[in-house]
Chain A
Amino acid sequence: MQVPARFEYERANSVPHALALLERHGPESRVIAGGHSLIPMMKLRLARPEVLIDINGLAELSALGVEGDALLVGALVRHAELLADPEVGRYFPIFHDAERVIADPVVRNRGTVGGSLCQADPSEDLSAAFAAVRATALVQGPGGVREVPIRDFHRGPYETAVEPGELLTGLRVPIRPGAGSAYEKVERRAGDWPVAAAGSLLRLGDGVIAEAGIGLTAVGAEHFAAPEAEAYLVGRAPGAAAFAEAGRIAAAHCNPRADQRGPAAYKRHLAGELVRRVLTRAAARAGSPEGEE
């Protein structure tokens, strides 16, 4: 039987309370939300926090919906909620594409958006999706809320911009009317972590690409993004050749490592292939005749 080492447990009843508990218990405490990464690691004794601070009761972190010209996703929104929300699907089909291939329904019912991003696993699907749409992370500390562009949020594997004593409270994603987005993942089996995955957002104007966002995960892409490929696309007409070239550029700039999911050359190939595919699909969703669902 896998059993964790000894730990204490605190239940937060508000965000300020959670922040106070974080301050009181210091760096050996960990926030727990869905627990789908932290608890398995504790049972394997790879993680041994002295105190767990449970934020599951914080309703103020569960908001999900359009606020002004942005989509607001609370940190405690469960994967299943993001997947079920029709507004999310209308403005950002990338999230529904991604959520359909994240883990399984049991995990999605409990796991949270904020937990996924804060775990900062280098293979996290949502990290790539939020990078593609250039979200803004809302991080609250004793001094108030600060806004962190998502591409500054992830500092490296398992490392984020959330400082000790701070809490990710939510994400804001600007809505671009008419934009298309998509996500595609290669996995060894339903529910597995990605071998590689890519997401994209395309906004078209005057027959050319006005904005391109590309997210990549599991292939060692810095900040889960492909800025060189994005820069290549902006101002160009959408089309198969441009998308393939963007894929090549993205593949050239990522840094995949071999593991049991595949050799580095294969993952690099996938980065290019998947970027090409999600751009093609995003273009179709943005209304381009060059796209393909």
Chain B
Amino acid sequence: MTEGTTAAPMGFGRMHRKEDARFVRGRGTYVDDVRLPGMLHGAILRSPYAHARIVSVDASAAEAHPGVKAVITGETLAGMGLAWMPTLSADVQAVLATDKVRYQGQEVAFVVAEDAYTARDALELIEVEYEPLEPVIDARRALDEGAPVIRDDVEGRTGNHIFDWEAGDREQTDAVFERAEVTVAQDMLYPRVHPAPLETCGAVADFDRVTGKLTVWCPTQAPHAHRTLYALVAGLPEHKIRVISPDIGGGFGGKVGIYPGYVCAIVGSIATGRPVKWMEDRSENLMSTAFARDYHMRGEVAATRDGRILAIRVKVLADHGAFNGTAQPTKFPAGFFGVFTGSYDIEAAHCEVTGVYTNKAPGGVAYACSFRITEAVYLVERMIDVLACELDADPAELRMKNLIRPERFPYTSPTGWEYDSGDYPRALRLALDMAEYDKLRAEQAERRRGGGPLLGVGISFFTEAVGAGPRKHMDILGLGMADGAELRVHPTGKAVLRVSCQSQGQGHETTFAQIVAHELGVSPDDVEVVHGDTDQTPFGLGTYGSRSTPVSGAATAIVARKVRERARLVAAAMLEASPDDLEWSVSETGGRWSVQGSAEHGRSIQEIAMAAHSNLELPEGVEGHLDAVTVYNPPNLTYPFGAYVCVVEVDPGTGQVKVRRFTAVDDCGVRINPMIVEGQIHGGLADGVGMALMQLMAFDEDGNHLGASFMDYLLPTSMECPSWELGETVTPSPHHPIGAKGVGESATVGSPVAVVNAVLDALRPYGVRHADMPLTPANVWSTLQGEPLRTDLAIT
């Protein structure tokens, strides 16, 4: 097998996941499973108002309640300089409110008690006097003259504007629009959604007064970044902080940041000298932790009459909530939205993004969005269908005509992104063939003549940009987005890999062991993967943005190759040969270095490992053992892509949508464990069905959250999901050590718009061109009446 250029998966392919042995037995260890001697329990009092001034907080009755050990308020924290904490976007966020509350569900006070019941009981004894203020709920009104100023904590602030950001060439784009034969425009909302992981957020903080060491267990996707931030914010010495991220029940980007509850648990432990556990409930999770999207977009496309796309122009109003807390590289306030030209070879493009504050929870980058590529793909793929409507063109043909051709790679987009590799027409053709596209169109024509449920076919073609990123361009709060790996090889040749990323279900314990196994010619069972503990792993920025395989996976391959090269030196000493005369081979018996041309003169990797620890006189450059360390700084992002075809049936009498088929062709470069890849795609496709059809996080005019439970915020079930039909093409990344590109978010990025395009395709005979997600039965029916719903506001 030739590394990085093969269509076959890497060695060991579809092996079962090593971590499943514990998960299927119920033996995982999540934060809520951590129970320490003497542990206390915390609970958070939250604001019932979206916007109100805090007149007073009286905690005396709660403090007097039996079993209560401490009540922490904003005032308590202000005394310690901890009432506010920095966000990941260089703003600040209240830990516990001191002056005002700025969204419903915001943290106001923290009770520490002997048990969770007592803590909850005591919350009801805290008296907070609020003076309600007019909230800003509709993002489109946030910049109005006279709109209430949400962030009056910042001196001199007179409005709710956060930032303006642009990409591309405005003049060139405008000029293309001027002379274009055809232009179309469409307003669209990518509504606020929530990743809603099965495991909510929480923490166990244990401050040891004797050693001064703080240990924090919490489900973080970025344990090392958390440790550094705690050190910078709380002034604790970094070597006295240990962050342990145990098994995580789903992250999707919502567990990247630091939440006020974590800080409260830490302060609670410092105050009481005992460990403190805080676990939020479902409503708290949905109301206060990182939401995703909330992009109000206007897209415009300029094209020729025969369907050649010339330019795209976009304006975005981005609702960032009450604090600008999006997790993204510093130089990218709109994330990677700049890839909005998608998979198409376009002459000119320009976008402007304006971020605003509203009285809603902070966040914005979560739910497997690849730093806003989800919004970008939604925009461009919706616009292609709008253009197809305008030109009365077939949306598949229109895409095929405009896709970037394979010979154009590496391709530099008009907004400056360098796509590493791809064969887009091949992937789209495969998806259309698998779905039997022509037959579907024939069936649709038949249905349109004969009545019955409406049939819709939707296509999306997406290009992802993942694996952030080159540290020259990408950092979070000054921390470059590189990741480390350490590989120890024990005398018997068994190995321990330590990585800085942290799995939330991606299967790293298996795939990273497979990478090492492949590189060293050992069994994956002989490689243990350690992650999620800052005392045990090298520094790195963690798992989000589909970056684990592109960055940590690369570090893993490189560190294994370093070990292999050290083994070469040791083998040369063992064989009394020159290292240059040795060749590496992997056979059924494993990896070995042997003298070129005489395979019998060789040593297995296990023999070499033992020799490296023995009394063998070691050659220059080997002090002993084979262990190695590396840090991987990616030279570029990787660009996975895919073509999806969704088939739906719509009941025009009720507005109900049924997804009948979904065909997904993904190209994520070389696959390590195809089963794990497919599992991630299945999950992302289900996410897409959920976002497109049911996930609704609206707010009423008072700022009440209307999706704060799983009765109101619906996640899809197997009943809404068809049997997924997957296909693949393999275009290796030319710059990644094993040619892999990352896949964790591809399906979440690509699928929602395929479903939406399918539903709107079904409604096309009714003159419908667009409606916003989610396409609930009510929204579909209202759209058929010519009145699509405004899905970010309460239905009235």
Contacts and interface: CB of A to CB of B under 8 A. Distances in A.
Contacts of B121: 5-6
A241 interface: no
Interface string B710-753: 01101011011000000000000000000000000000000000
A69 interface: no
A260 B720 contact: no
Interface string A181-196: 0000010111111010
B796 interface: yes
Contact of A266 (B32, B706, B711, B778): B778
B795 A188 contact: no
A273 interface: yes
Interface in B294-309: none
B17 interface: no
Contacts of A191: 717, 719
A186 B656 contact: yes
Given A192-B714, A263-B782, A270 B654 contact: yes
Interface in A208-261: 258-261
Contacts of A195: 777-778
Nearest to B280: A1
B65 to A, nearest CB: 12
Contacts of A260: 696, 698, 706-707, 712, 794-795
B766 interface: no
Nearest to B656: A186
A188 B283 CA distance: 20
Contacts of B785: 265
B610 to A, nearest CB: 51
B282 A188 contact: no
Contacts of A190: 717, 719-720
Nearest to B123: A45
B279 interface: yes
Nearest to A184: B654
B776 interface: yes
B204 to A, nearest CB: 13
B484 to A, nearest CB: 35
* Interface SS of chain B: loop
A58 to B, nearest CB: 29
A189 B716 contact: yes
B384 to A, nearest CB: 28
B776 A262 contact: yes
A3 B776 contact: no
Interface residues of B, number: 37
Interface in A258-284: 258-263, 265-266, 269-270, 273-274, 277
Contacts of B794: 260
Contacts, number: 80
Contact of A2 (B282, B655, B696, B777): B282
A2 B279 CA distance: 9
A188 B714 contact: yes
A225 to B, nearest CB: 21
B717 A188 contact: no
A28 to B, nearest CB: 17
B152 interface: no
A193 B714 CA distance: 11
A6 B118 CA distance: 10
Interface centre among A189, A270, A277 (most CB of B within 10 A): A189
B116 A261 contact: no
Contacts of A188: 693-694, 714, 776-777
B781 A266 contact: yes
A3 B116 contact: yes
Given A3-B116, A6-B121, A273-B654, A263 B717 contact: no
Contact of B782 (A6, A259, A266): A266
Nearest to B651: A186
Interface in A117-171: none
A2 B281 contact: yes
B117 interface: yes
Contacts of A186: 654-656, 777
B653 interface: yes
A269 B782 CA distance: 11
B117 A3 contact: yes
B426 to A, nearest CB: 36
A262 B117 contact: no
Interface in B637-685: 653-656
A263 B796 contact: yes
Contact of B795 (A1, A45, A259): A259
Interface centre among B693, B698, B795, B796 (most CB of A within 10 A): B795
B714 A189 contact: yes
A1 B281 CA distance: 4
Contacts of B32: 1
Nearest to B202: A1
A262 B716 CA distance: 18
B170 interface: no
Contacts of B279: 1
A3 B120 CA distance: 7
Contacts of A192: 711, 714
Interface string B77-107: 0000000000000000000000000000000
A262 B777 contact: yes
B795 A258 contact: yes
A222 to B, nearest CB: 23
Given A189-B694, A189-B720, A191-B717, A261 B654 contact: no
B711 A193 contact: yes
Nearest to A262: B778
Contacts of B781: 262, 266, 269
Interface centre among A195, A258, A266 (most CB of B within 10 A): A266
Interface in B590-648: none
A284 B233 CA distance: 71
A269 B784 CA distance: 13
Nearest to B281: A2
Given A2-B281, A261-B778, A266 B717 contact: no
A263 B720 contact: no
Contacts of B795: 258-263
A191 B694 CA distance: 13
A2 B717 CA distance: 23
Contacts of A2: 281-283
Nearest to B277: A1
Contacts of B719: 189-191
A5 to B, nearest CB: 7
Interface in B154-199: none
A273 B716 contact: no
A194 to B, nearest CB: 11
Interface in B698-714: 698, 706-707, 711-712, 714
A45 B117 CA distance: 12
A263 B711 contact: no
Contact of B653 (A6, A258, A273): A273
Contacts of A261: 776, 778, 795
B680 to A, nearest CB: 23
A51 to B, nearest CB: 17
A247 to B, nearest CB: 11
Contacts of B778: 195, 261-263, 266
A246 B431 CA distance: 47
Nearest to B796: A258
A3 B789 CA distance: 36
Interface string B245-288: 00000000000000000000000000000000001111100000
A260 B699 CA distance: 10
Interface string A1-45: 111011000000000000000000000000000000000000011
Given A5-B120, A189-B694, A193-B711, 4 more contacts: A188-B776, A190-B720, A195-B778, A263-B795
23 contacts: A1-B32, A1-B116, A2-B281, A2-B283, A3-B117, A44-B283, A45-B120, A186-B655, A186-B656, A188-B693, A188-B776, A190-B717, A260-B698, A260-B706, A260-B794, A260-B795, A261-B776, A262-B776, A262-B782, A263-B778, A263-B782, A266-B655, A266-B777
Closest 4 CB pairs of A and B: A262-B778, A190-B719, A2-B281, A189-B714
